[in-house]
Amino acid sequence: MSLTGKRVLLIIGGGIAAYKALDLIRRLRERGASVLPVLTAAGKQFVTPLSVASLAGVSVHEDLFSLTEEASMGHIELSRAADLVVVVPATADLIAKAANGLANDLASTLLLATDKKVLMAPAMNVRMWLHAATQRNVAQLERDGVLFVGPADGEMACGEFGPGRMVEPLDIVAAIEKALASSTVIPLPGNGPLAGRKIIITSGPTHEPIDPVRYIANRSSGQQGHAIAKAAARAGARVVLVSGPVAIPDPSGVTTHHVETAREMLAAVEAALPADIFIGAAAVADWRVENAGAQKMKKSTSGMPSLQFAENPDILASVSAKSKDRPALVVGFAAETENVIAYAQDKLARKKCDLIIANDVSPERGVMGGSKNEVHLVSKSGVESWPLLDKDEVARRLVDTFSAHFKKGGVA
Ligand code: CTP
């Protein structure tokens, strides 16, 4: 991919890996991008403003106050002048500041003021990287939508071995290209293509109790549903996420209700209605155990248990069937292991929804619990198949599809 015309705001932090930022500038400019360099006070200990400016072909921004006083370009303007903000190396200190919203120097102020995606390439000592505080900060930034590339495993300048080495400039270029492949503007709440829309999304599995300590579950991780919730919130929608038990964090900017069973999920969805869009991404258990024990079943006294099943309510079908308050767009998922399109078409008709997102969840595809998904959009107007993509990218494209639906005023 050519980076012609793309502008990268490059924040160079203070670490031994800062020298790689110089090579990165060269690689980006070779590909047609322009670089707005920012050097932190610590970064200046490792690379000089002169070498950065010579390679970037523009002067280096270093000081928050001179920037505002000179009024050449205020920090707000600078933070938004680029298509993408890239932090190389992202030190433990910069990560901690960004995770906590500090703004006490130019770099941290830019990170707080920007309306663009941020990509960080961490580099630090292995113990600093693995420290609970850094991991907590990284998890927070990921929830906030910050992208990360690396760190890699390897021998470090300090002589220790493990994760913490910054990835190579070409890996960062690839991550920049990937980030720039879709929109990098983060709309303010209330702005964006889904502004003013309310979306309810179910996600994850449901757990159906057998007794107080045992349950029936499935392999859904909630990643796809949560990614859609995050992408929809970023597109300006008011999002209610009804999540079954998952091991992933609640997305930021989304109201999340935690439930266990299908019946609790239905109740939470009913309570959240009305909405403009309903998306059933949860892998809802088809059955519950009707004779679930109030106490733990004992091996010694009860012999072989005999479970009786009852059918769970179909949340998607019941939302679709509403005569009053039916969302304008009702979207279901079809997780299949064979006849993917045919079964999806059947579900579209049976559950009376507007769109089914079908995917093949055969174990060899690695979709359930994995980070990628290959989906087919099945609607009355036909089938659109997408290539294998990251679940985040699938989510972004789905949100674009939903936005287009409302623009067109018809079925996507
Ligand atoms: N779904 C739901 N409530 C249920 C079962 C499924 O809301 N009790 C929703 C899912 O969230 C998904 C869609 O229906 O959007 C299809 O789910 P799936 O389990 O594939 O369909 P089933 O109705 O269970 O059909 P089958 O068992 O025949 O595959």
pLDDT of res. 5: 93
What CATH fold (topology level) applies to the domain 7-179? Answer: Rossmann fold (3.40.50)
pLDDT in tens, 332-363: 999 898 999 999 999 999 999 999 999 988 88
| Ligand 1, atom 6: closest residue by C-alpha | 284
How crowded is the C-beta side of 368, counted as CA atoms within 13 Å? 19
Each residue of 398-411: b (16+ CB within 10 Å) or e? bbbbbbebbeeeee
Ligand 1 centroid – CA 151 distance (Å): 39
Percent of the chain with pLDDT over 70: 96
**Cα–Cα distance for residue pair 234/131, rounded to 1 Å:** 30
pLDDT of residue 266: 98
Question: For the chain, how big is the Rg over CA atoms in Å?
Answer: 24
For residue 90, which phi and psi values (nearest 5 degrees)?
-85, 105
- Residues paired with 373 in a beta bridge: 389
| Fold of domain 198-408 | Rossmann fold (3.40.50)
Does residue 158 carry a catalytic annotation?
yes
Supply 157's token pair: 């300048």
Which is the catalytic residue, given 139, 158, 170, 404? 158
Residue 119 has pLDDT above 50, yes or no: yes
Task: Report the C-alpha gap between 260 and 222 in whole angstroms.
Answer: 13
Is the predicted pLDDT of residue 203 greater than 60, yes or no?
A: yes
In contact, 227 and 296? CB cutoff 8 Å? no
Task: Among 347, 354, 367, say which to mutate for ligand 1: greatest number of ligand atoms within 8 Å of CB.
Answer: 347
In a mutational test of the pocket of ligand 1, which residue from 316, 330, 337 has the highest number of ligand atoms less than 8 Å from its CB?
A: 316
Residues forming a β-bridge with 360: 336
Ligand 1 pocket residue status of 282, Cβ below 6 Å: yes
User: Tokens 């299908």 label which residue?
Assistant: 262
User: Using CA atoms, how far apart are residues 324 and 313, in angstroms rounded to an integer?
Assistant: 19
Q: What is the band of 1 on the pLDDT scale with cuts at 50, 70, 90? A: low
Give the DSSP per-residue string, 27-81.
HHHHTT-EEEEEE-TTGGGTS-HHHHHHHHTSPPB--HHHHHHH-SS-HHHHHHS
pLDDT at 83 over 70: yes
- Name the residue ranges covered by the structural domains of the chain: 7-179, 198-408
Check whether 300 has a pLDDT greater than 60: yes
Mean pLDDT, residues 375-387: 95
Q: Spell 95-115 as b/e; 16+ CB within 10 A means b.
A: bbbbbeeebebbbbbbbeebe
